[in-house]
Amino acid sequence: AQSVTQLDSQVPVFEEAPVELRCNYSSSVSVYLFWYVQYPNQGLQLLLKYLSGSTLVKGINGFEAEFNKSQTSFHLRKPSVHISDTAEYFCAVSDKAAGNKLTFGGGTRVLVKP
Amino acid sequence: GAVVSQHPSRVICKSGTSVKIECRSLDFQATTMFWYRQFPKQSLMLMATSNEGSKATYEQGVEKDKFLINHASLTLSTLTVTSAHPEDSSFYICSASRTSGGRFYEQYFGPGTRLTVT
């Protein structure tokens, strides 16, 4: 069985400061990893994904994440946040053994302060 | 491309009634659709997986007689909450992918449906 842990439930950050959201997963097989963003009362928007290849993945809106197999982590980073980045962020894992089903972490609420 | 819509976006119903939520893939054929439920300030929990033309596979603890899922075509899946009660109030999100198993295809998410049962 796979599981995802997002270590921070809430991250306050000042505008133009960097932010890192931590995500660790457990799985017995090779995985695909995702980060999604959710704005209030909306569905999920894909920020980036790791399927294979380079461990540094660049996504939309200036976000990037690094896959670290030895540490089973997939932390999300942005060097300079904007007020509009205030949202809920979800890390998710999928593996072939689970029929491509996604397992989500508990979410991290990012609050960008002016 | 890969747009998924849900209808309605919001619905209020009385306790004991049934409500149907539609999930459509607008520009691709979705062999597999997933239904999630999200409580306030919580993560998404997978309720069931449906493959076109076959019965849905429900996750443990999800009542299949209460949450009826139909995936009759490659572009439409419906979730019917039968005999709804206030505890069924939640945000329901669907996603769609081109296939399940074998080659990987990512899931594309709908905008969600807010169900309130009074």
- The C-alpha atoms of residue B104 and residue A94 are separated, in whole angstroms, by 10
Average pLDDT, chain A: 92
Residues of A in contact with B91 (CB under 8 A): 41
Q: Any chain B CB within 8 A of the CB of A46?
A: yes
Token look-up 């929990």 returns B45
A59 and B CB contact within 8 Å:
no
Is the model's pLDDT at A1 over the cut of 80? no
User: Any chain A CB within 8 A of the CB of B105?
Assistant: yes
Put simply, whether B46 touches A (Cβ < 8 Å) is yes
Rounded to a whole number of angstroms, the distance from the CA of A60 to the nearest CA of chain B is: 16
Lowest mean pLDDT among A1-15, A95-109, B24-38, B56-70: A95-109
pLDDT, residue A99, reads: 66
Q: Does the pLDDT at position B1 exceed 90?
A: no
pLDDT for the residue numbered A92: 94
Q: Can you tell me the mean pLDDT for B96-118?
A: 83
Mean pLDDT of chain B, nearest integer:
91
Distance from CA of B15 to the nearest CA of A (A): 23
Q: Which residue of A has its CA nearest to B103?
A: A96
Interval B18-46 mean pLDDT: 92
Q: From CA A105, how far away is CA A80, in angstroms rounded?
A: 24
Residue of A nearest to B48 (CA): A101
Q: Which of B107, B114, B73 is nearest to B92 (CA)?
A: B114
Report the distance separating Cα B19 and Cα B82, nearest Å: 7
**DSSP-based three-state secondary structure for A10:** strand
Percent of chain B with pLDDT over 70: 94
CA gap A28, B11 in Å, rounded:
40
User: CA neighbours within 13 Å on the CB side: how many for A4?
Assistant: 30
Segment B71-86 mean pLDDT: 94
Residues of A in contact with B32 (CB under 8 A): 100
Q: Residues A44-61: pLDDT tens digits? A: 999 999 988 899 999 999
Q: What is the pLDDT of residue A64?
A: 97
pLDDT at A29 over 90: no
Q: Which residues in chain A are closer than 8 Å to B3, comparing Cβ atoms?
A: none
